A and B are shown apart, each in its own frame.
Chain A
Amino acid sequence: GAGVSQTPSNKVTEKGKYVELRCDPISGHTALYWYRQSLGQGPEFLIYFQGTGAADDSGLPNDRFFAVRPEGSVSTLKIQRTERGDSAVYLCASSLSLASSYNEQFFGPGTRLTVL
C-alpha cells in the first residue's frame, strides 16, 4: 500500500519568502507528526496532530512556523518570512489510531528546503 508522501521533494526559495510543505499520511492514520532534520543531526520534533487538532506544537521554533490539518488527513506546514537557518529536511510521519508510546511511526521521504 501507499506510504507517507511529501511534496515537493525539493524546494528552493529566497530569504523572506513564504513556503508550504505538504504531507499525505497513510490512509486511516489519525496521528501525524512533523520533524525537521538539519545536516548531520537527528530529526527534531516540531508538531503533532491527533485528527484535525494540533495536540502538541511545542517544537515549533517561532511564530513564523504554522501547520494545519483541516480534514484530519493531509497536513500542510507553512513557513513565513523564511530565513537561511530554516534550511533543512522536513519530515512527516503518521501512526495508526491514537498517538502513544508504543505505536510505530511511518515516515515520508522528506522535503529538502533550501533558503538562499
Chain B
Amino acid sequence: DAKTTQPNSMESNEEEPVHLPCNHSTISGTDYIHWYRQLPSQGPEYVIHGLTSNVNNRMASLAIAEDRKSSTLILHRATLRDAAVYYCILISSNTGKLIFGQGTTLQVKP
C-alpha cells in the first residue's frame, strides 16, 4: 500500500475552518483516499473517502488535487469535539485493510 505523509500536529480555534493536508505522491490509479479519526480513548471513526473528485458529507469535505498526489480534509467549523488524531490512508487492495500511519493530532482551542 502506498505511503502517506501528514504533519504530526495542528492547532485550530473553535468555530474556524481547519485544513488537514496529506501527501501521497506514490498513489496509484486504483487507490482510494480514506480519512479516519480517533478521539481519545475510542476506536477510529470513518470520516470520508474519495477517488478523484472532491467529496462532501455531513462531517467534512475532501479536496483531492488534480494529480491525486495530495489531498486535504476540511472541517468547516471546528468544535472541541473535533480534537482527535486524523489519519489519511490509501487503500488499493480488495481486502480493504487499513494501514495507519502516525496521523495528525488536531488540537482545538476554545
The residues in B between 59 and 107 inclusive whose CB is less than 8 angstroms from any CB of A are 85, 87, 91-103
> Are B43 and A104 neighbours in the complex by a CB distance under 8 Å?
no
**B30 at interface, CB cutoff 8 A:** yes
Within 8 Å of chain B (Cβ to Cβ): is A45? yes
CA distance A56 to B91 in the complex (A): 15
B13 to chain A, nearest CB (A): 26
Contacting residues, chain B, for A110 (C-beta < 8 A): 43
Find A99's partner among B44, B92, B95 (CB 8 Å cutoff).
Answer: B95
Chain A residues whose C-beta falls within 8 Å of the C-beta of B30 in the assembled complex: 101
Which residues of chain A come closer than 8 Å to B32, judged between CB atoms?
A: 101-102
A107 CA / B45 CA spacing, docked (Å) = 7
CB distance from B65 to the nearest CB of A (A): 19
Residues of A within 8 A of B87 (CB): 42
- The docked-state distance in angstroms from the alpha carbon of A105 to that of B45 is 8
Chain A, interface size category, equals 20 to 34
Question: Which of A42, A104, A106 contacts B102 (CB under 8 A)?
Answer: A42
Do the beta carbons of A103 and B44 come within 8 Å of each other? Answer: no
Report chain A residues within 8 Å CB of B46: 104-106
Q: Judge whether B43 and A91 touch: CB under 8 Å.
A: yes
**B14 in the interface, Cβ–Cβ < 8 Å?**
no
Q: A42-B101, A101-B30 are in contact. Are A95 and B96 (CB under 8 A)?
A: yes
A contact set with B: CB distance below 8 Å:
4, 31, 33, 35, 41-45, 48, 55-56, 59, 91, 93, 95, 98-110
Supply 28 A–B pairs (Cβ within 8 Å), ascending by A.
Answer: A4-B43, A31-B96, A33-B98, A35-B98, A42-B87, A42-B100, A42-B103, A43-B44, A43-B98, A43-B100, A45-B98, A45-B99, A93-B43, A95-B96, A99-B95, A99-B97, A100-B96, A101-B31, A101-B32, A101-B91, A102-B32, A102-B51, A102-B91, A103-B96, A104-B46, A105-B46, A106-B46, A107-B43
A-B contact sample (20 more), CB < 8 A, given A93-B44, A109-B43: A31-B96, A35-B98, A35-B100, A42-B100, A43-B44, A43-B100, A48-B96, A55-B95, A56-B95, A93-B43, A99-B94, A101-B91, A102-B32, A102-B91, A103-B96, A105-B44, A105-B98, A107-B44, A109-B42, A110-B43
